[in-house]
Structure 1
Amino acid sequence: MRDALLATGRPIVYSICEWGYFDPATWAPAVGNLWRTTGDIEANYGSMLSIFHANAGLAAAAGPGAWNDPDMLEVGNGMRFTEDRAQFSLWSAMASPLLSGADLRSASPATFSLYLNSDVIAVDQDSLGKQATEISASGGLDVLAKPLSDGGVAVTLFNEGDSRQTISTTASAAGLPSASSYKLTNLWTKELTTSSGGISASVPAHGVVMYRVAPGSGSSTGTTHPLLGSSSGRCVDVNGASTTAGTAVNLWDCNGGSNQGWSFTSAGELRTFGGTQCLDATDNGTTAGTKLIIWPCSGAANQQWRLNADGSITGVQSGLCVDVTGGDKPAGNVNGTPLELWGCNDGANQAWSLKG
């Protein structure tokens, strides 16, 4: 079949499927372009995890025009948001074919926030063609490093377990050259940070944090961006563009207005309107359901926020997360939906990114 396809003189991708029964990674690169390495995937975390384990050790077989195929993406087919994000990240790190198994005609904004992440897709499609290797795997805490054509490395921290864990590695362990500092680009939150060599994050259960790492430096602190919600595809918005203290903060279609520009400061504030107003928990509230408003910046504890590596934003005073009210359902993600504090739950309605 290989020879017959080559004889046509036309570019044709040849996919081989024998479900990994005969160790295709040892012979298929000379025959086709991609080869199934496992049995069929199912839309559950256990199946995804098992297939990841089977495929992760086959990195040596992959290269430009030749890819291990751990079956389709189940993103949008019923796994939790963190599990969907994990599969999309892991498959991209492993240079796998990204074939959607979901009906995209009815996919949610949360699902599209994963499928349309061009930075993660760029890791999968990188011209160097290398599959990530596991540089650490202990106790269900996995670190994958994928060399990239620009000299950088994509580093994926994966927590297989059922509770949040801190996962750490170093630029040296990931294969990067010695440097005085490294720029870390979080591929899901879009936040830039600088490290002297350590790469570490608190990773949710069944979740990932994914960085693009290169020598250099960078910081998102003090820069202004819209905050994009994963569950809605909409932006954090000051209602009616009003600068009046106490105005509600809600969701609205992203429009580039000054009432949608937010800046994390070195003091932990989230400033808007050119830095004149701050995101504020109403009346110093620390309970679930406390509404978010703007208020003149005062340095108070209820105006202190932290953008976490998983995309959640935590109130320092309350320990609760910035949440789209009722955003776990489509009706809760419409224009005008208020933002509030709520217990952190790793849901898409608590996942945010810095919009370019």
Structure 2
Amino acid sequence: MKFSFKNDYSEGCHPNILQALLQYNIDQQAGYGEDEYSLKAKALIKEKINNQNSEIFLISGGTQANLIVISSILKPYQCVISASTGHILNNETGAIEATGHKVLSIETEDGKLRPSDITPILENHRNIPHQVMPKLVYISNSTELGTIYKKQELEELSTFCKQNNLYLFMDGARLGHGLTSEISDLTLENVASLTDVFYLGGTKNGALIGEAVIINNPVLQEDFAFNVKQKGALLAKGRLLGIQFLELMKDNLYFDLAKHANQQAMKIKNAMKKKGVEFLSDTYTNQIFPILHRDLIAVLSEHFEFYIWKKTDDQFSAIRLITSWNTGDEAVDRFIEIIERELY
């Protein structure tokens, strides 16, 4: 069987989570997120972000989280700004547009948004009331290209959004990987203080399912629970999410798993760099995009699964490799062995 580098959710979940689900399986608990595990998990998250005033909602998946957050925040005539690589643009089947909100796209080389990228959008949408009103800036950390926001970048973006009456929403499907990157100077507490809303992704970092939506702006907290329920995201057995996030948050398991995934990706990246391989983007998370000759891609495809991300010319293409919390040394060493053999 081929080892998959296609994504970071091929495996089920970390054994601690499976054990906890089994251990507490027959306990009788309140429903709809009022169980003791969900309440403890939320309290632990508030402690880690150092904000007791934030409100936390446990949601089953990333697309669902994006859909509920954005459709709840925006009025019918308001829209969201996203990098062209944003998940809400390319991988959510038009879910945001289906709620009646336009997504304004900005081309960026590294998947990140900066104030200078957003300014032209604001300048071109002043024909009130004939155009949609930009109101929400959507970013991802790490981005869909594996890049991350440094602290100064997020501070500048946060300040810009406040000055222009925009909300800032961070998709945190891979936030653990972004924060534990070897070049990151951003903390979870920083993220909480600089965004209106963000979420901690569990699905791509050791959980069976689940994202923890964290609303920091008090204005946006009001009635949010109604939107969660109306859109089918309020699980009767909310304990299933609460148990998972309680396990992930205690003893820093969440960050240890993300750090492991990053380290495994960097082993592959560094080995490739020594052989002169170039990359589509310079990443330090669990996503890497090496540019390889089609013959080498064919050889690697005999042993591993991965996506061919972008054709760069007639002979070369960038592939995407993603490591996970469970990516072991055997698969990584085997991949490196083939690279070193073929690129002699």
TM-score normalized with structure 1 length: 0.26
Task: Select the structure that is richer in helix.
Answer: 2
Q: Which has the higher contact order (CA 8 A, sep 6+)?
A: 2
Task: Select the structure that is richer in strand.
Answer: 1
Query: Which has more radius of gyration?
Result: 1
